[in-house]
């Protein structure tokens, strides 16, 4: 486990991350952390597309207890698989889950 700090306009928050970079406690996440979390994943500018995916991941997690896989994202988020990989070249579900402060989505597809 790693402890890191995220700076937002509201102040500095200490966040615990798993070894592979996911929030240990999703409840400490706030939307204003997104720009900094995205920058750490190599996303310099958070576009509307990024926001759409991150918010969708977050709401899926809050209702279902787990984030969607890439296929489910492509089918239900309103962003196609092709666009998902353009937005998150290093793996849409994985990277968006890190930015949305939720655990890594499970599933093989």
Instruction: Supply the residues annotated as catalytic.
Output: 108
What is the nearest approach in angstroms of other proteins to the Cβ of residue 83? 9
Residues 6+ positions from 95 with CB-CB distance below 8 Å: 41, 43, 88
Q: Is 22 left (phi over 0), alpha (psi -120 to 50) or beta?
A: beta
Q: Shortest Cβ distance from residue 69 to other proteins (Å)?
A: 7
How far does Cα 70 stand from its chain's mean position? 12
Query: Which one, 44 or 109, has the nearer CB to other proteins?
Result: 109
Residues at the site binding other proteins, with contacts judged by CB under 8 A: 1-5, 7, 19, 36, 40, 69-72, 74, 80-82, 85, 89-95, 107-109
**Residue 58 or 73: which CB sits closer to other proteins?**
73
Nearer to other proteins among residue 21 and residue 26 (C-beta): 21
């Amino acid at each position: 486990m790693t402890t890191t700090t995220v700076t937002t306009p509201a102040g500095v928050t200490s966040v615990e991350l798993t070894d592979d970079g996911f929030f240990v406690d999703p409840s400490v996440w706030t939307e204003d952390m997104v720009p900094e979390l995205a920058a750490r994943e190599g996303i310099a500018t958070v576009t509307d597309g990024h926001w759409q995916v991150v918010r969708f991941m977050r709401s899926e997690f809050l209702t279902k207890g787990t984030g969607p896989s890439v296929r489910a994202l492509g089918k239900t988020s309103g962003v196609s698989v092709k666009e998902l990989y353009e937005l998150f070249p290093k793996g849409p579900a994985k990277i968006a889950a890190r930015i949305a402060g939720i655990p890594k989505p499970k599933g093989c597809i």
